[in-house]
């Protein structure tokens, strides 16, 4: 703007002197300066208005440890070339920076670029909007135009394969099978009924259809495999984190991470709780088990036990946004909401809490025919300066509840493959 002010002052001065002296040279100089200001303004204005920027988010869902891809295309629709164009992105996704400076876009041409970003944090994020900035060749004027296009991205928590998972699973005997109808095809056929639009053809019972003269389909019941409930401890007061998380790592290109195996889990007990829950849900649902979720985070979250990929998607969406902002201790959750669990259910509680009361509350579920499992996350392994209480393995084992111990940096597939008899001693 200083240049514009200086040229305006020169324009007015030249005009005044030209009118006073009447010299043609001064009039010509006045016209040149004035025309320069007008053309520069029009050029700068057209640079941000006679151009179209399209952005395409290739996927609306991703997962921690995976990358997203976003494509941009800038199309010059004017008869003037774009000497430079800056696109500034305002996305919320950590590490996502598709901002770009383009130069030399000829008239009626387009330029594109692709941005790949490694997802390091779960949650719901806004991708966009953006600002488009450009100016004239002399740098006199600069205009900004908002690009309001926004996409919503859901980043699911990481899922770790658990090929050797060794958890005691409940199973109902034949006389205790719950008679619940299901739309899934299971080995337990319950009867037949008339066909209704939407029924799958593989459920049609052809002998009955031929006999009745109309389409008859089979109905099924859930098999004797019992439900699995995941109980997450998201009480804010028992969480721990690595102080080094306050120092953000330098972002690396997403392509460098495409060949990595298990994703790196953020060094907080909250992320370990969520990641373990997501991994267990993925493991059981792929094996046709019914999985439910109970957690007290920002609010009470209950997802009734069900099976299938739709249930997996529902659980991952919930786990993506759950935060350790709860104010209800885990032992109160187990005491208050134990009626959610039916007889024969496997209840898996995941917690970093050093309070022995949640272990005791979990153990009492045995008297209702529920199979309890505890997954204890060692909070002292996340912070060397941790001075809070810790549960001792001997104390936990006295309760008789199968317990698995997890520390920061553990391979979850190995940690959940067998019992941990004891934790490292604290310094």
Domain membership of residue 169 (yes or no) is: no
**Cα–Cα distance list, 82 to 44, 53, 67, 100, 130 (Å):** 9, 13, 32, 14, 18
Domain membership of residue 308 (yes or no) is: yes
Domain membership of residue 424 (yes or no) is: no
The answer to whether the Cα torsion of 388, 391, 393, 395 is positive or negative is positive
Domain membership of residue 117 (yes or no) is: yes
Residue 262 is predicted with a pLDDT of 56
391-423 burial string, b = 16+ CB within 10 Å, else e? bebeebeebebbbbbbbbebebeebbeeebeeb
Of 221, 252, 277, which residue is a domain's last?
221
CATH number for 279: 3.40.50.410
Domain membership of residue 422 (yes or no) is: no
Query: Which tens digits make up the pLDDT trace of 65-83?
Result: 899 999 999 999 888 888 8
Q: What is the mean pLDDT of residues 92-96?
A: 90
CATH number for 127: 2.60.40.10
Q: What is the mean pLDDT of residues 393-408?
A: 81
Are both 250 and 385 inside the same structural domain?
yes
Are both 217 and 240 inside the same structural domain?
no
User: Judging by beta carbons within 10 Å of its beta carbon (0-12, 13-18, 19+), is residue 308 exposed, middle or buried?
Assistant: middle
Domain membership of residue 425 (yes or no) is: no
- Bridge partner residues of 127 (DSSP): 151
Domain membership of residue 423 (yes or no) is: no
Are both 185 and 261 inside the same structural domain?
no
Q: Which of 68, 209, 181, 195 shows the shortest CA–CA distance to 125?
A: 68
DSSP state for residue 385 in the 8-state scheme: T
10: Cβ contacts below 8 Å, ≥ 6 apart: 33
Range of the domain at 196: 179-221
Check residues 419 and 403 and name the one with the higher pLDDT.
Answer: 403
Are both 21 and 98 inside the same structural domain?
yes
Are both 248 and 395 inside the same structural domain?
yes
- Residue 212 and residue 178 in contact, taking contact as beta carbons nearer than 8 Å: no
Are both 208 and 146 inside the same structural domain?
no
Are both 301 and 347 inside the same structural domain?
yes
Q: What is the mean pLDDT of residues 201-227?
A: 77
The answer, yes or no, to whether residue 253 has pLDDT greater than 70, is: no
For residue 388, name the pLDDT band (cuts at 50, 70, 90). low
Residue 384 is predicted with a pLDDT of 63
Domain membership of residue 173 (yes or no) is: no
Query: Which tens digits make up the pLDDT trace of 321-347?
Result: 999 999 999 999 999 998 888 888 899
Are both 288 and 401 inside the same structural domain?
yes
Q: Return the structure tokens found at 119.
A: 């997802």
pTM here is: 0.77
For residue 248, name the pLDDT band (cuts at 50, 70, 90). very low
Q: Return the structure tokens found at 263.
A: 């994703």
Are both 240 and 184 inside the same structural domain?
no
How many structural domains is the chain composed of? 3
Of 156, 187, 211, which residue is a domain's last?
156
Q: What is the mean pLDDT of residues 121-138?
A: 91
Are both 379 and 395 inside the same structural domain?
yes
Are both 340 and 213 inside the same structural domain?
no
Which alpha helices (H) appear in 298-369, and where do they start and end? Answer: 309-321, 330-336, 356-363
Are both 84 and 189 inside the same structural domain?
no
């Amino acid at each position: 703007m200083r240049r514009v002010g200086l040229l305006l002052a020169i324009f007015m001065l030249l005009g005044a002197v030209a009118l006073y002296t009447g010299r043609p040279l001064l009039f010509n100089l006045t016209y040149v300066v004035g025309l320069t200001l007008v053309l520069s303004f029009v050029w700068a204005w057209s640079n941000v208005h006679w151009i179209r920027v399209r952005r395409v988010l290739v996927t609306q869902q991703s997962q921690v440890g995976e990358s997203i891809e976003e494509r941009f295309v800038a199309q010059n629709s004017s008869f003037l070339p774009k000497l430079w164009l800056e696109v500034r992105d305002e996305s919320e996704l950590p590490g996502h920076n598709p901002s770009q400076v383009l130069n030399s876009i000829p008239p009626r041409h387009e330029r594109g670029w692709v941005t790949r970003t490694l997802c390091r944090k779960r949650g719901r994020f806004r991708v966009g909007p953006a600002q488009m900035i450009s100016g004239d060749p002399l740098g006199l004027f600069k205009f900004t135009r908002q690009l309001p296009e926004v996409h919503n991205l859901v980043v699911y928590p990481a899922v770790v394969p658990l090929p050797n998972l060794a958890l005691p699973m409940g199973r109902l005997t034949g006389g205790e099978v719950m008679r619940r109808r299901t739309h899934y095809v299971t080995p337990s056929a319950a009867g037949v009924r008339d066909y209704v639009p939407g029924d799958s053809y593989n459920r049609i019972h052809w002998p009955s259809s031929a006999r009745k003269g109309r389409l008859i389909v089979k109905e099924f019941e859930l098999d004797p495999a019992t439900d699995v409930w995941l109980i997450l401890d998201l009480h804010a007061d028992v969480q721990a984190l690595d102080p080094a998380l306050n120092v953000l790592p330098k972002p690396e290109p997403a392509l460098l991470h495409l060949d990595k195996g298990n994703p790196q889990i953020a060094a907080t007990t909250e992320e370990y709780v969520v990641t373990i829950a997501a991994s267990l849900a993925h493991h059981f649902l792929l094996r046709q088990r019914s999985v439910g979720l109970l957690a007290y985070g920002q609010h009470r979250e209950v997802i009734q036990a069900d099976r299938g990929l739709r249930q997996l998607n529902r659980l991952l969406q919930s786990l993506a946004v759950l935060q350790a902002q709860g104010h209800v201790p885990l032992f109160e959750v187990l005491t208050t909401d134990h009626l959610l669990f039916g007889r024969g259910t496997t209840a898996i509680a995941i917690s970093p809490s050093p309070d022995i009361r949640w272990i005791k509350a979990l153990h009492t579920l045995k008297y209702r025919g529920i199979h309890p499992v505890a997954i204890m996350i060692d909070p002292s392994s996340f912070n060397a300066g941790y001075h809070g209480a810790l549960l001792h393995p001997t104390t936990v084992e006295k309760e008789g509840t199968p317990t698995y111990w997890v520390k920061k940096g553990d391979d979850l597939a190995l940690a959940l493959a067998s019992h941990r008899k004891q934790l490292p001693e604290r310094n």
